[in-house]
Structure 1
Amino acid sequence: MEKYLSLSGNHSSNKRSLEGLSAFTGLEELILDNNLLGNDLALPGLPRLHTLTLNKNQITDLEGLLDHLAEVTPALEYLSLLGNMACPNELVNLEKDEDDYKRYRCFVLYKLPNLKFLDAKKVTKSEREEALLRGEFMKVVKPKASKDVASVSSQLPYTPLPPGSRSLTSHQGVLGRCHYVYYGKNSEGNRFIRDDQL
């Protein structure tokens, strides 16, 4: 019975199906790096699988993947998703930073609480506690742009003014007087002036 299987670099095949893995029910370690696998990834039930690496694939839907893994790999302890858009880091996307990666780790540990290692880094006790408390809220959600807002914003340049005051001929100004009185209480320079110099 096979316990370890590496299928890295098989992206030359037009059909990237993993249905043949159902014959390996005793599989404990599975390496699927660099295979152009996407959000349609479907693993068969692998009850003994404890190590899974999906590095350098095309996975963007993190929540969908984690829900699928929680269902088909209940014994999973080691997971690596480096090199996927679902794993936010500066190597994949320059717009991401360390905070994005911390939120990602927290959300993954919330969804898969039995993980001991995530992306080649050991899961700490504090990460596990934070995932228990806040992990549910660490999911990154992108707002969907509605067609109405997109069409209006493409026609008009951005302005912070309300629509009624955009015309050059219809404007209202505000004129007021401001009085500032300086008492010198908070001045740092006053502490260096001696009484005999006043």
Structure 2
Amino acid sequence: MDFSEITEHSCEPGTSKNDDGVISVDVSSEVLVDSITEVPPDLIMNTDGNVENGEDPTRLTLAYERLYEIPRTIVERFSDHVWHLDISHNKITNLDPLVHFKHLTSLIADDNPITENCVLPPLPKLQLLWVNYCKIGSLYPWVAKLKESCPNLQYLCLMGNPAAPSYLNGGNFYDYLQYRLFVISQFPSLNHLDDRKVTEDQRAEAQRLYKRPFFERIVKPSSGGIAQLIHTPVKWSSFQSKITSLWGGKEERNLLI
């Protein structure tokens, strides 16, 4: 699958705008659509009309619709044939309905109040995930669960989240390197993280630093070992301080970027 058209914008907010060939679901600004409020029948008719006019039926956008969840009627109507879904710039926190999108290969969920407690259902075909500018405050247990749900991710964007240190949220370059290498270590098939490609040198360094014996040295024996670290929320600053102490200071490591 070719994601070059999507990734050329470097995952910046606002790049998930409607393009030619994308089904546009136009929910009236006067109606809040959720499991209580049914989707107006004319909305479904208009969407079907777009398909008849030759637009790509595998692409669906629900962006900027003030949604608190993915409408049940939309799931029932489109989940069987949608491969590319855009739910960005809404108020969605529950991603469970995505389990019905069996063919989903790309999901754009930027600017939603998604936290580290918001877990994606199993999406084994998902290759691209954008969750920029959400509310993900910790890499744990979110990254471990994301790895279980989406083991074949190739493109992942987390920019603007508290758990992704960068100059966008007050993090320094060293924080960013540690975060980047850790995420790369969790996804063997990852080709692009945030605004940069994953290099072979980065992948090798990530595997060397974050292999299991290294993790076991970070976690105290009394804390429950590696399982405790992965399945319990941990602030990145605390995790980083342990890594720094093991490395003997920032100056002794020449991390690759």
Q: Provide TM-score, normalisation by structure 1.
A: 0.65
- Per the alignment, residue 104 of structure 2 pairs with 27
- Per the alignment, residue 135 of structure 1 pairs with 210
1:83 aligns with 2:160: yes
Q: Report deviation, 1:135.
A: 2.7
CA-atom RMSD in angstroms: 1.8
**Larger CA Rg, structure 1 vs 2:** 1
CA distance in 1, matches of 2:238, 2:207: 23
Q: Deviations over 1:26-52 (max 9, x none)?
A: 100000100011121111111100000
1:9 aligns with 2:89: yes
> Structure 1 regions of 5+ residues with no counterpart?
144-198
- Per the alignment, residue 192 of structure 2 pairs with 117
> Which residues of 2 match residues 53-64 of structure 1 at below 5 A?
53-64=130-141
Aligned 8 A contact 2:119 2:146 in 1: no
CA distance in 2, matches of 1:101, 1:141: 11
- Per the alignment, residue 70 of structure 1 pairs with 147
Moved over 3 A (4+): 136-141
Aligned 8 A contact 2:155 2:193 in 1: yes
Distance 1:57 1:51, change over 3 A: same
- Per the alignment, residue 100 of structure 1 pairs with 175
User: Structure 2: which amino acid aligns with 1:49?
Assistant: L
Aligned 8 A contact 2:165 2:175 in 1: yes
Query: In structure 1, the residue corresponding to 2:89 is in which secondary structure?
Result: coil
Q: Deviations over 1:104-131 (max 9, x none)?
A: 1111111222211000210011100100
Q: Deviations over 1:160-184 (max 9, x none)?
A: xxxxxxxxxxxxxxxxxxxxxxxxx
User: Structure 1: which amino acid aligns with 2:145?
Assistant: H
Q: Provide TM-score, normalisation by structure 2.
A: 0.51
CA distance in 1, matches of 2:153, 2:192: 10
CA distance in 1, matches of 2:169, 2:138: 15
CA distance in 2, matches of 1:61, 1:71: 17
